[in-house]
Amino acid sequence: MAYIEHWHIWLIVAFMILIVELMSGTYFLLALAGGAALTSVFTWWIMPSITLQLIIFAAASAVTYGLLLNFRKKKDVQNTDGTTHMIGQQVEVIEAITHQGRVRYKGVLWQAKSDEKIPAQAYAEIVEVDGSTLTVKALS
């Protein structure tokens, strides 16, 4: 049987995948990095054959991916698009809104639209988020 006694190879693979994950932003690669890290631990602990190492990598990656999906589901129960938390927040109107204008939300300028006229320097409330456009209403 062929053995890879260098557990650090799996650890290096885990870090390389993690670096690619940081550039891409997918949860899938994070699961593979976790699988490689767990394989590193098992390789250090019991020194399995290369075939068993690959099986451990596949199983650990699958378990890690399942845990990440479960975590995301719990986190995103009410916030499916990542913008729900913005509704109800106040924004400063930078460019007067007749039908469209610009507002500032947390230091970032956004396109805004409203059915009512809102003058510049006024404050409004976010009613809806549609991509990079905020639907707002004037604060009373």
pLDDT at 16: 93
Is 14 in the same domain as 58?
yes
Q: Where are the alpha helices (DSSP H) in 25-131?
A: 27-46, 50-75
Q: What is the pTM of this model?
A: 0.50
Is 62 in the same domain as 88?
no
Is 61 in the same domain as 119?
no
pLDDT at 129: 87
**First vs last C-alpha separation in the chain:** 77
Is 12 in the same domain as 59?
yes
pLDDT per residue, tens digit, the chain (140 aa), is: 455 567 889 899 999 999 988 887 677 888 999 999 999 999 888 888 888 999 999 999 999 999 888 877 665 545 455 677 788 889 999 999 888 999 999 888 899 999 999 999 999 999 988 888 889 998 87
pLDDT at 81: 58
Residue with tokens 């990598």: 57
Q: Which tokens go with 60?
A: 């650990």
Structural domain range at position 130: 84-138
Q: Which helix (H) or strand (E) holds 94?
A: strand 90-95
Q: Is 92 helix (H, G, I), strand (E, B) or coil?
A: strand
Is 64 in the same domain as 106?
no
Is 53 in the same domain as 26?
yes
Number of domains in the chain: 2
pLDDT at 23: 83
Nearest one of 81, 82, 103 to 94, comparing CA atoms: 103
Instruction: Answer yes or no: is 1 within a domain.
Output: no
Is 111 in the same domain as 70?
no
Counting beta carbons within 10 angstroms of the beta carbon of residue 72, is it exposed (0 to 12), middle (13 to 18) or buried (19 or more)? exposed
Is 97 in the same domain as 58?
no
**What CATH number is associated with residue 97?**
2.40.50.140
pLDDT at 1: 44
